[in-house]
Amino acid sequence: METAEAKNFKKVDIIFECQDCKPIEVLDTNLQRKPDDIILDIIDSGLKGRGGAGFPTGLKWKFTKNESAEPKYVICNADEGEPGTFKDREILDRVPEKVFVGMALCGYSIGAKEGIIYLRGEYNFLLKDLNKKLEKFNKQLKERNLDFAITIKSGSGAYICGEESALFESMEGKRGEPRNKPPYPTSEGYNAKPTVINNVETLVYTTMICNLGSDKFKELGTKDSRGSKVFSVSGDTPIAGIYELELGMSLGTFVEEFGDGDTKSVQVGGASGHCVPRKYFEDTIIGFEGIPTGGSMMIFNSTRSMYNVLHDYLEFFTEESCGQCTPCRVGCQQLLEGIEAVKKGERRPSYLEDLKKLASNMNLAAKCGLGQSVANPFNSIVDNFKEEIIY
């Protein structure tokens, strides 16, 4: 745990706020600027990817711009599948134009002509409205002589396709199996061409940084975690929903605001994130210096069995593992069967230690983030709630 001082709890209104900001006007103003200036602004803002992995957005844009291969692509990752996350759906539903403008500005900055939104199949009900708005937006781009257009591709129910290289495979009509890295998307992404792939929320922040200036953005958050972030709050809370909050607060202040007074633990970052028990709430900072999150905050009170929570997560990973690499395919199954065996008394409690080693090995040996991150929930739940797993 970090000892950095936590920020106070503060609600922010940048993503959904739309009074001052007509997205198309942000585009117009910024098309007057040099592409490099826009990229420098995004780098200067310190914005890191809001999908969970947290790569600096401006650098992604710069690396892709520096590639000589053509064509280049801008892809919006709307394959929001992490359990407990529902913010991207809300953003695409309420302020899609801000996403489109972010994509267009990225295209203008890096020299791409094609933008594609990869929308998870579970959100197909958004298609009709999004396509209508895109038609209008693409027309507006044409009127401005900007050689850029956005289309949508749908997913078909596969969590792993949120992993960027699996997403490219899926867009290319293949099984959504992650690729080896390097090469990274900035040099060989979709169709093996230089590609910027950003999360929905990240793209909105790029629009807003271009609108407000990077200094305004930097006023929020901490040195390692600039700005604010949209949180999806669910579970045992009287006020479940979407909240945009300044980064860097302690989990303690978060629970004070959202908990039901009986909070036992919070799963920060979804099924692939960390489980934090009550005793660590105050010392845990939400941000890249503490526990980073794609926004999923699942709150559990003392009536919940953490065995059930872990069982649910492991079932999820077992089903969603693409099956390509052995550590993940077999590891997920063994972890699931393992805790079932301990619960039934078929295995000694000390078997949990072996399973923890297996999870740590998966972290080292699995090919992509899915298999690598199973150790996060597994080890944090087993370490903090061992009695609940055994008895």
Q: Is 40 helix (H, G, I), strand (E, B) or coil?
A: helix
Segment interacting with other proteins, rule: CB under 8 A, options 1-9, 41-49, 315-323, 354-362:
315-323
CA–CA gap between residue 258 and residue 278 (Å, rounded)? 14
Least gap, CB of 240 to other proteins (angstroms)? 4
Among 171, 230, 342, 381, binds other proteins (CB under 8 A): 171
> Measured in Å, how far apart are the chain's first and last C-alpha atoms?
29
| Angle formed at CA 331 by CA 325 and CA 335, multiple of 5 degrees | 160
CA–CA gap between residue 230 and residue 208 (Å, rounded)? 14
Which CB atom, from 39 or from 389, has the smaller least distance to other proteins? 389
Residue at token pair 């209104």: 13
Segment interacting with other proteins, rule: CB under 8 A, options 31-39, 50-58, 62-70, 116-124:
116-124
Bridge partners, 263 (sequence order): 301
Among 232, 250, 265, 384, binds other proteins (CB under 8 A): 232
- Tokens of residue 67, six digits: 């590639």
Question: Is residue 176 within the footprint of other proteins (CB under 8 A)?
Answer: yes
Among 4, 242, 341, 365, binds other proteins (CB under 8 A): 242
Site string for other proteins, 117-146 (x = CB under 8 A): ---xxxxxx-x-------------------
Q: What is the CA radius of gyration of the chain?
A: 21
Site string for other proteins, 147-166 (x = CB under 8 A): ------xxxxxxx-------
Among 66, 308, 326, 360, binds other proteins (CB under 8 A): 308
Within residues 86-105, the interface with other proteins by CB under 8 A covers 86, 88-89
Among 31, 146, 240, 365, binds other proteins (CB under 8 A): 240
How do 114-119 and 149-154 pair as beta strands? parallel
Residue-by-residue DSSP string for 123-169: GGGGHHHHHHHHHHHHHHHHHTT---EEEEEE--S-GGGGSHHHHHH
CA nearest neighbour of 148 among 156, 157, 139: 139
Residues in the site for other proteins, rule: CB under 8 A? 80-86, 88-89, 120-125, 127, 153-159, 170-177, 191, 232-236, 240-242, 271, 296, 298, 304, 308-309, 312-313, 316, 319-320, 322
